[in-house]
Amino acid sequence: MAGRLNTAIATRSLLVLTPLLTFPLWRGAIFYHPFALAVAASSALAVVIFAPSIPWPKLIPRSDARTAGLIAALSYILYSASALGLFGRMEAFSGDEPNYLLATHSLLSDGDIRLKDDFAARDYTAFYPGKLTPRTTQGRDKGGYPVHGIAVSAYLMPFYYVGSRMGGPADLAVAIRLGMAFIASGLAAAIFLLLRRLEVERGVALVTAALLAATPPILNYSILVYPETTVALIIAIFFRQLLASPPRWVQCAALVALCPWFGVKFNAVAAAMALVLLARLLRSPAPTRLRALFSVLAAAAPLAAAYELFLWHFYGSFSPAAAAGGRAAAVKDSVAGNLLHYFSRDTLARLSLMPQTFLADLFDQKGGVLLYCPVLAFALYGLLVVVRRSEARRKLAALILPAAIHLGLYTYTNYLGGYCPPGRPLLPLLPLLAWPLAIGIESWRNRYTRSVLVGAAMLLCVTAMEAPAYFLHDLIYSDLRQITNFSALLDGPVLRPTDYLPVLTVPGIIEWRNLIMVAGVLALLLLTARLPTRRLISDLAAAGTIMALVGWIASEPKVFQRARLGPLELEFLDGAPAFVEERGIWLRGSSSGRFRLVADRPIRGISFEVRNGAALVLKDGDREYRPDSPGRLSLEVSSDGHPGGRLYSFRVKGGFRPSSSDPRSKDHRWLGVFIAADGVVELEAPR
């Protein structure tokens, strides 16, 4: 028996570690981090072998309330660490975030949401260093009122008050981020409680909630000032109260009426939830139906009336879309108008626009969530399992209705923000996807699958510890188009994800060939899930996970730009964070990234000339360099007489747009500092 066990362990170990031998062919890798590689490989191997023997059920609290509290506490610790910058420098408020905060400031200082005076007084400089473009509509008295829902701004009032009295803008930013982390951690706990109400086993519900809490898109948006996280929490609580016996009619109706306060586009969510609530009301016992209807109206009517009076008082219209820009916008962005667009002839063209449809939000190589959060693939598998269960189809219909209406109308009312990682439209739907995700995990649940999940989590931790700033920056943050360069980072000489992953975000281009390839792979996985070779598939999944994640740590970084500066070649390892010009480079303001200086001959020093006055910080390993005199930054580099490369990280504070200082300029780049670099060459290499 012992011999068979040892043989099985040896066979599985060989299978898991085999991809490491072929990894240099996959990426042309040069292993710069042998210690990290050894830690990652040994950790993954130990997890795959020993994790199945850990008594996981005994580690779970028996009370649902305590388990939910544990999930919320651990999630809040994770999100707080991100807010405090422990995983790398937190990006400044961008996009629509400052507009939400300015409304919060106005509520605290003036007791209103009339922002015209606040913009004139530049009150936003407390949390935004540049010139903030107003995102307002004139309103009834032309006072400049926010185009966004005010619920998030009102929620942040206590955190803004505390942060503004703690110190400078950095303290205020931390207080705001920590305040949003409360919502995200509450969402993780609410998802667990919803799954328990859906009669999902406690262990599976815990794993599902933990995976959703610690992966994109919740992880991305946990500390960002956007309403989608709060709406997701509302949806999770709504369905849990609706599935109670008897349903909590008052709470459900109040939650439905609360959604419009978060923004125009969430009227679609409120309408879908109202339809589900009505269907459940009609199925309630006849003797209690009238009382339930009275409870719903008594709870929803005051909030709905208050919302309409709010719109009429400030915006001069009862239309919810009036806040988006007046009566013209109210007609354009109305529900009826969106439905007409949704069923018009340009529906196919709409699919090729920004990732605002279900397919693009899942599969697109730049805007899709599945690429860097493959755990959601279990949800797709779980949907198929649910469809095969007749007793679960009714629950599935209740979940699909809000999802379809939300995604369909989100396409035409979505406003892009600043750092908007992929998956923003899917965020409010995660409580609805949690149930199929749990079904998928439960259907694949065995000790080998647990090994894959735990191994992936440990390797992600190793990766994050190896390069925390770049890990979060490259994996999570994106540009203003809600896209990420993560797929390009995985390109190698043999496997190139950018060649076979679908492209649904480029106007006029729909890569159906790539989409069919992805669908074929998913179909193959679903077919093999029923075969007795599941153990082999689990090991192959573990091997692929190890190969991909170790490659992130140890492979040769992908070079996005090159520039020749004297005896040095400068290589940028981030997706276009700078602009190469003659004798130097422009680093974007308020940015961070990596570049490597490679010398083709021995050098004994590097000289930087810094212009434009923006604050610049360079890090060489554990050493940090700042300009010691205006315009000069000298780095001492030890040379062993051989050519070589040196990796630096940079951080730029401040910046400007030429177009904002010169109206005639068409240059919209966010420039920060110009650096000219040169190397001090050794006259003779040491012997």
CA–CA separation, 583 vs 124, rounded Å?
Answer: 37
Statement: residue 186 has pLDDT above 90: yes
Q: What pLDDT digit, counting tens, does each position of 669-687 carry?
A: 677 888 777 776 654 433 3
- Asked whether residue 156 carries a pLDDT value surpassing 90, the answer given is yes
User: What pLDDT does residue 258 have?
Assistant: 93
Q: What is the pLDDT of residue 498?
A: 64
Query: Could you give the count of Cα atoms lying within 13 Å of 383 in the half-sphere of its Cβ?
Result: 10
Q: What is the pLDDT of residue 619?
A: 75
User: In the predicted model, is pLDDT for residue 642 greater than 50?
Assistant: no
Who has greater pLDDT, 520 or 281? 281
For the chain, give the percent of residues with pLDDT over 70: 54
Distances (CA, A) of 603 to 34, 563, 634, 639, 680: 26, 18, 13, 6, 6
Average pLDDT score over residue span 289-295? 89
Let me know: does 567 contact 679? Beta carbons within 8 Å.
yes
Q: Which of 190-204, 208-222, 362-376, 635-649 has the lowest mean pLDDT?
A: 635-649
Q: Which range in 172-181, 394-403, 610-619 is most confidently predicted, on average pLDDT?
A: 172-181
The DSSP-derived string for 337-405 is: HHHHHHTSTTHHHHHTSSS-SHHHHHH-TTT-STTT-GGGHHHHHHHHHHHT-GGGHHHHHHHHHHHHH
pTM: 0.68
At 140-150, the pLDDT tens digits run 888 788 888 89
pLDDT at site 571: 78
Sheet order of strands, 644-653 included? 561-565, 568-572, 591-599, 644-653, 615-620, 623-625
Measured distance CA(539)–CA(499) in Å, rounded: 26
Instruction: Indicate if the pLDDT at residue 350 is higher than 60.
Output: no
Closest CA to 511 of 346, 315, 295, 365: 365
pLDDT tens digits, residue range 583-616?
Answer: 778 887 777 777 777 776 666 677 777 777 677 8
Q: Which residue has the higher pLDDT, 610 or 35?
A: 610
Token pair 């609580």: residue = 237
More confident site: 121 or 48? 121
* 166-175, 180-189, 252-261, 559-568: the lowest-pLDDT one: 559-568
Cβ of 412: how many Cβ atoms within 10 Å?
18
How far, in Å, CA of 642 to CA of 311, rounded?
A: 70
Do 363 and 370 touch, CB atoms closer than 8 A?
A: yes
The predicted structure's pLDDT at residue 187: 97
Q: How far is CA 487 from CA 162, 372, 496, in A?
A: 40, 9, 9
R_g (Cα) of the chain, nearest Å: 27
Give residue-wise pLDDT tens across range 64-83: 888 898 899 989 988 888 77
Dihedral, CA of residue 338, residue 342, residue 348 and residue 352, to nearest 10: 40
Residue 332's pLDDT is 42
The candidate with the shortest Cα–Cα distance to 227, out of 413, 484, 477, 476, is 413
Q: What is the pLDDT of residues 193-251, one digit of tens each?
A: 999 998 888 888 988 998 899 887 888 788 889 899 999 999 999 999 998 888 999 99
Please give the pLDDT value at position 681: 65
pLDDT at residue 216, as a whole number: 78
Question: What pLDDT score does 327 carry?
Answer: 40
pLDDT of residue 355: 42
For the cut 60, the answer to whether the pLDDT of residue 625 exceeds it is yes
pLDDT at 141: 80
What does CATH list as the number for 561-681? 2.60.40
Q: What is the pLDDT of residues 81-115, one digit of tens each?
A: 877 765 545 566 877 888 899 999 999 988 888 88
Residue 497: pLDDT over 50: yes
In the 3-class helix/strand/coil scheme, how is 319-346 assigned residue by residue? Answer: CHHHHHCCHHHHHHCCHHHHHHHHCCCC
Assign 167 a pLDDT band (cuts: 50, 70, 90). confident
The 10s digit of each residue's pLDDT in 443-481 is: 766 655 555 555 555 545 444 444 444 444 455 444 444
Show Cβ contacts of residue 437 under 8 Å, excluding neighbours closer than 6 positions: 208, 211, 212, 375, 376, 378, 379, 382
For the chain, the first-to-last Cα distance in angstroms comes to: 61
Contact 141, 316 (CB under 8 A): no
Compute the mean pLDDT over every residue in the chain, rounded to the nearest whole number: 70
The pLDDT score that the predictor gives to residue 524 is 52
Rounded to 5 degrees, φ, ψ at 594 are: -130, 145
pLDDT of residue 60: 56
**What pLDDT is recorded for position 469?**
44
Q: Is the dihedral of CA 398, 183, 181, 147 positive or negative?
A: positive
How far from 454 is each of 75, 328, 457, 501, 587, CA to CA, in Å? Answer: 17, 53, 5, 26, 39
CATH 2.60.40 maps onto the chain at: 561-681
